[in-house]
A and B are shown apart, each in its own frame.
Chain A
Amino acid sequence: MTLRLALVLLIAVTAAACDRVRGDSTTGGAPATVPSDATLNSIPLGAPPGQPVSVATRIANPFQGNAQAAAEGKQLFGAMNCVYCHGAEASGLMGPPLNNSGWRYGGTPAEIYRSIHDGRPGGMPAWGERLPPDQIWKLVTYLQTLADASGKPSTTGAQAAEQDGADTAHRGLIDAQRAQRALHPQ
Chain B
Amino acid sequence: MASAFSPAWPMAYLKTFGPRADPVTGLTWGLIVLSLAVIAIVTVLVVAGVAVRRQRAAAAGQVLAIGGEAGGQSWIWIGVALTLIALVASLVWTVAVMAEVGSPPTRPALTLQITGHQWWWEVRYLSADPGQTFVTANEIHIPVGRPVLIKLNGADVIHSFWIPTLSGKTDTIPGRTNLTWMQADRPGIYRGQCTEYCGLQHAHMAAFVVAQPPAAFEAWRQAQLQPAATPAGPTTVGEGLFVEHCGVCHTVRGGAAAGVAGPDLTHLMSRATLAAGTVPNTLSGLEGWIANPQALKPGARMPATDLSGPELGQLTAYLETLK
Contact = CB atoms under 8 A, between A and B. Distances in A.
Interface of A: 4-5, 7-9, 11-12, 15-16, 80-81, 83-85, 93-95, 119, 121-127, 129-130
Contacts of A85: 303
12 contacts: A4-B255, A7-B256, A8-B243, A8-B247, A8-B256, A11-B244, A15-B240, A95-B303, A123-B261, A125-B260, A127-B248, A130-B248
A122 B156 contact: yes
B259 to A, nearest CB: 6
B258 A129 contact: yes
A125 B259 contact: yes
Nearest to B243: A8
B303 A4 contact: no
A125 B305 contact: no
A122 B256 contact: no
B151 to A, nearest CB: 17
B301 A5 contact: no
Contact of B304 (A4, A84, A126, A129): A84
Interface string B283-316: 0000000000010000101011110000000000
B124 interface: no
B169 interface: no
B156 A121 contact: yes
B306 A84 contact: yes
Contacts of A119: 261
Contacts of A11: 240, 243-244
B258 A122 contact: no
B304 to A, nearest CB: 7
Contacts of A80: 248
B118 interface: yes
B194 to A, nearest CB: 17
Given A4-B256, A94-B294, A123 B301 contact: yes
Nearest to A86: B303
A125 B304 contact: no
Contacts of A5: 256
A122 B117 CA distance: 9
Interface of B: 118, 156, 240, 243-245, 247-249, 255-256, 258-261, 294, 299, 301, 303-306
A122 B301 contact: yes
A15 B244 contact: yes
A124 B156 CA distance: 13
A71 B315 CA distance: 30
Nearest to B248: A125
A94 B295 CA distance: 12
Nearest to A6: B256
Contacts of B303: 81, 84-85, 93-95
A99 B243 CA distance: 28
Given A8-B240, A11-B240, A121-B156, A84 B305 contact: yes
Counting chain A CB atoms within 10 Å of each CB, the highest count among B247, B256, B258 belongs to B256
Nearest to B301: A123
A130 B256 CA distance: 10
B238 to A, nearest CB: 12
Nearest to A123: B301
Contacts of B243: 8, 11-12
Nearest to B175: A185
B120 to A, nearest CB: 12
A81 B259 contact: no
A81 B305 CA distance: 8
A125 B249 contact: yes
Nearest to A11: B240
Contacts of B259: 125-126
A171 B249 CA distance: 36
A163 to B, nearest CB: 35
Contacts of B249: 125
A46 to B, nearest CB: 13
Nearest to B299: A94
Nearest to B259: A125
B276 to A, nearest CB: 15
B186 to A, nearest CB: 38
A153 B259 CA distance: 32
Given A5-B256, A9-B256, A93-B303, A122 B118 contact: yes
